[in-house]
Amino acid sequence: MIKQRICIVGDGLSGLMTAVVLAKVPGIEVNLIAKKGSKNVDKRTTAISDTNFKFVNQNIASLGQKLFWPSKKIELFYETSKDSINFLNLNDVNSNLMYVFENDKVKSVLLKEITRNKIKLIRKDLKNLDKLKKYDLIILCIGGQSKIYDNITKTRSIKKDYKEIAITGYVKHNYKTLNTSQFFLKEGPLAILPFSKNYFSFVWSVKRSFFVNNSKKITALVKNKIVESLKNKEDITISNIQSYPISLHLRRQYHQKNVLILGEGLHTIHPVAGQGFNLVLRDIKKLKEIIKYYTSLGISLENSYMLYDFYKSRKPENTIMSLGVDATHSFFKQNKYLDPLKEILVKNIKNNEKLKKFSKIISNRGLSL
């Protein structure tokens, strides 16, 4: 069997994961291109569903379960003018609903897998794709802002500037019990993601103007808001605070010739539902299946309908899920005219078992039912 060569550009979480997974396909040789001086420090956490955890574990056994903190219960709260309504509790006695991991630790293991699987790592600054013509397939995992995309996608994307900033960080605590939680607060949604016995991470999405006006005291504001939301006055310590702008960006064109866009370059969504990297993993899973099918038939990846098949299979879910997250965020945004109606709807959700079951399925599997 003649080996077909795949080049993956970008050594972020998406690029590393794609490289290690595709390197396991028979008849495939993978090269990985990363920027010179690129550092592997990423002090954030990521949440993935049980289905995606199983996919990762099956393909990269060296990651092990110790790097992933399981959650059997997820609580959702809606803040009103009077109190906080616990309107939806998702739990499963027999399995975990989601797993949280520290990005830098997982990336460190993936880099070791790159060496173990003899994936060639090339350090170079890439300004265009002219020197990559020797590859049968080129996969771009270079974030959402690269100018390289301009020569690939001609179709207009779906874009939306939320005019919001996501504040993230780690919290050290001594709470006896702590569940994964999502608080829909007046200032914006706050997610609590435990990743060890005494640590959790948070993502708080606030208006850009609120962030700018309070930038000098943001740590104190975050601390007070977390303590207030969790209703626990025990002291906590916050570290690794970072911030980044939030936007919606969905590309309508996934590929051109033998070049595919993957990761945040393909879809960037609001962090409110924690679905961003889950969509990426489902993309990687489907891409592996399609590549494996074509190579098993001896068909050249470069001159096939492989990327079109990927586009047809993944675009519907990526679009529906992303716009669904956008609709969820819009629904929970503060609105003095609609808030009284939202309170009534939220209270009715609490006892709706069918909605709970549907929410668990969608969060776990997406639309791949």
Query: Is the pTM higher than 0.85?
Result: yes
11: CB partners within 8 A, 6+ apart: 32, 34, 35, 38, 40, 111, 121
Closest CA to 150 of 124, 129, 123: 129
List, in sequence order, every residue forming a beta bridge with 77; answer none if it has no partner.
Answer: 86, 183
Average pLDDT, stretch 48-77?
94
Residue 237: band (very low, low, confident or very high) from pLDDT cuts 50, 70, 90:
very high
**Predicted local distance difference test score (pLDDT) of residue 321:** 96
For 314, phi then psi, to 5°, come to -105, -25
Q: What is the mean pLDDT of residues 268-278?
A: 95
CATH 3.50.50.60 fits 4-365, yes or no: yes
User: Are 91 and 97 spatial neighbours (Cβ–Cβ below 8 Å)?
Assistant: yes
Domain boundaries, the chain: 4-365
> Does residue 249 have a pLDDT over 80?
yes
